Structure 1
């Protein structure tokens, strides 16, 4: 009889810091810094992809997500590349105002506060949070991260000015990837690291030729090709409301892997609507990644809203409160809609 060979146990491959494998398609994932956003887009942001955030017209919630994105990178030991075209916040200001990491005591207190919800929502399912201690962290928006912690991270800042063009930014990104050895050609597993690329307000007036629609589309196409061939993830925010072109917005979303739109209630009619009093805006998922799969991740629900607390930014399921006025109107009009005679209409209840 032939002797059976003992099974060879494969050695687990070491993953880069702050990453994990997706249980759905085996893709390498990183956290966006907000656990509820990770859950909404399929567990995290896949390495080699581009996340597009369509900015809100009246506020700067996209900038908060960008700070979370880089804060998670600092804690995980990832590299950072920042380019900002916003007037109020430059790349240096973004890095200097990253939210601080929450302590274990603050996390336990935060979980207790989350349990204090309205009685009508008590039995409804909630957005799941990341269970892994090595993936995703909680941050406090009321405090800034210590500058000594930020200095431990390799940060490259692209100073935007009207003289810079699309080619300058792409060349700078390529040089950063080569210098930091973030390319996929690196053979040493221990030396692999992830580069987080953050481009704020792409297409704003400070971006010179990138205010042109064709230049923006060409840049996104080259950016995705650059990210695909490296251990990098990119978060790009675009003020799509400035262009007022639905066809252009759809093309921009098509050139990204994950696209979300933040619809703020500030300055709109929904701000005064009592139905949305518990939220600050709607969270629209426009596109999800389809890497290594025939279909994209299907979220539990697409009715999502965001709320900015004093210490955190959270994505929640949109729960509309029951309409108590409908019951009141029925009780008031019960006497006027009877089938009695004209003389007794509205004076007595019907008897059956």
Structure 2
């Protein structure tokens, strides 16, 4: 009777598993990427914290998926979300690919709030929480103030002890500032082919395939498609179904081929291509997530600047909502159980001078009820007669 050593097969499989884990480790450790709390998929931030919390509980946009942002009217709220998405990618060191626009658009991205000073201040606050107050004061007397240290380490994410500091997942941007591009910032602008006998999107798909194939396996890429089919950016024949639908299908193929390295955000003007068109319905089916921005009738291009708060109420003042946000589809893996769905809930968005926020929408109190609340003493319960109809 022959015997064999069982530990040989176990060690071989163990080594194989370790090799697989080592190949996947750089992706999970990539800057600006973290696993989804729903199913563990690698997820990146859209640059808008409130939008990250809306995407099916993934706390961000899962890599390998696309988000279609539709907008009614002549406003450009969707363009603001695109700028946040591109700015977040540049800050995290991702490769940003912008379709159809010129280099000038890249210099109009929003800047960070506080810049390196805020990051350094937050890091010093974390250091204070890790040590006792007596040692903190002792270090100040011996080595001087902590603010006199070299701030370069805070920018590069390296602490004084030589350990790497964790970068924030979603940064805070200010629309009144301009993003300072780092020397190693990687942003490319893909041109649309104006040839009438050829699809304007075919060269773009070829460029994207070449870039992704030649780039390292640890690089993260973001595809930005502003105002798809808009005549200001794309030629007239780009709106033909046999041109735009293969493009979206090609983007979907790239997302499936690089599920942990690529994410796409696309905007579509519904004033030119309404949702009752069959072409738009097919575009939605080829997208993993679909949201619709519907500004209020009084909103216009001049309303993009936030209204000034009343005097003496700047601290507690909240800008009124400027439109509805409808969720039509979310990037959910149904065969894996999916995530929490926000479809059917009432959402509203607000664009201030500094940020874009999404909140649940609720009707304001009736004017008569407000007067009753103001005249009623504090702590007194309403009477039964006041509650009867």
Fold-level similarity (TM above 0.5): yes
Structure-1 separation of matches of 2:337 and 2:210: 34
Q: Give the paired residue count.
A: 281
Residue 52 (structure 2) pairs with residue 38 (structure 1): yes
What does residue 172 of structure 2 align with? 138
What does residue 83 of structure 1 align with? 99
Deviations 1:147-191 (A, max 9, x none): 3x2x4222221123533612122112212212324xxxx4xxxxx
Matches within 5 A, 1:260-271: 260-266=291-297
* Secondary structure of 1:40's aligned partner: coil
What does residue 171 of structure 1 align with? 206
Matches within 5 A, 1:112-123: none
Cα shift at 1:137: 1.0
> Cα–Cα, structure 1 residues 301 and 168, in superposed 2: closer, same or farther, change >3 Å?
same
Q: Is the 8 A contact 2:38 2:338 kept in 1?
A: no
Q: Is the 8 A contact 2:69 2:291 kept in 1?
A: yes
What does residue 279 of structure 1 align with? 321
Structure-2 separation of matches of 1:198 and 1:54: 14
- CA RMSD, 1 decimal: 3.2
Tell me which moved more, 18-27 or 213-222: 213-222
* Secondary structure of 2:85's aligned partner: helix
What does residue 320 of structure 1 align with? 363
* Secondary structure of 1:241's aligned partner: coil
Deviations 1:273-300 (A, max 9, x none): xxxx811111111101123623443239
> Cα–Cα, structure 1 residues 267 and 249, in superposed 2: closer, same or farther, change >3 Å?
farther
Say which of 70, 74, 79 aligns to 1:58: 74
Tell me which moved more, 219-228 or 291-300: 291-300
Say which of 103, 106, 116 aligns to 1:95: 106
What does residue 27 of structure 1 align with? 41
What does residue 239 of structure 2 align with? 211
What does residue 272 of structure 2 align with? 242
> Cα–Cα, structure 1 residues 214 and 245, in superposed 2: closer, same or farther, change >3 Å?
farther
TM-score, structure 1 length as denominator? 0.71
Structure-2 separation of matches of 1:324 and 1:36: 30
Which structure 2 segments of 5+ residues have no match?
Answer: 1-9, 120-165, 304-318, 372-389
* Secondary structure of 1:168's aligned partner: helix
Structure-1 separation of matches of 2:252 and 2:263: 9
* Secondary structure of 1:242's aligned partner: coil
By percentage of residues, which structure has more helix?
2
What does residue 115 of structure 1 align with? none
Superposition misfits of 4+ residues, deviation over 6 angstroms: 8-12, 104-107
Deviations 1:70-93 (A, max 9, x none): 111111110111113xxxxx3312
What does residue 332 of structure 2 align with? 290
Say which of 240, 246, 252 aligns to 1:224: 252
